Amino acid sequence: MTEIKTTFIKDMKFVAMTTSGNKIVMDTLKENGAGATPMELLLAALTGCTGMDIVSILKKMQLEFSKLEIVVKGEKSEEHPKIYKKIKLIYKLYGNLPPDKVKNAIELSINKYCSVSNMLKSAAEITYEYQILDSEQ
């Protein structure tokens, strides 16, 4: 059982506290880093979830990388509820990695292990691409 307690602060600001003692500040979209929007958190969660899978799967495959970045883009519905209809993940891996194994790791994550993608895929179409780059870049 995962439990979170969230408290209203003021205006539209809320702070969530996890049982493991992590504080998450949320707010409506502003330019000053006042807090992430709830919908931004969904995309962040997706990158973290699949990212952890990739790290874990590549380790099991005994493949090393020097850097890993994941960019995610979410396209919202124009009507209420403004859910993401399309989500695109772009994986950037730095290192000497075989493309087929990277692809396999990503598919294992998105389709089997990643809890977040498996919760969101009933609502949004999730696509991905990946780039394997030189470690020097």
Q: Is residue 125 within the footprint of its own copies (CB under 8 A)?
A: no
Q: Is residue 51 within the footprint of its own copies (CB under 8 A)?
A: yes
Q: Is residue 76 within the footprint of its own copies (CB under 8 A)?
A: yes
Helix (H) or strand (E) holding 65: none
User: Least separation, in Å, of the C-beta of 28 and its own copies?
Assistant: 7
Q: Cα separation of 49 and 108, whole Å?
A: 12
| Tokens 């179409």 belong to residue | 125
Q: Which tokens sit at 113? A: 């292990």
Are 67 and 107 a contacting pair, CB within 8 Å? no
Q: Is residue 101 within the footprint of its own copies (CB under 8 A)?
A: no
| CA-only gyration radius of the chain, Å | 17
Q: By CB under 8 A, name the one of 106, 124, 126, 128 that touches its own copies.
A: 124
Contact map string, positions 10 to 29, toward its own copies, x by CB under 8 A: --x-x-x-x-xxxxxxx-xx
Q: Is residue 102 within the footprint of its own copies (CB under 8 A)?
A: no
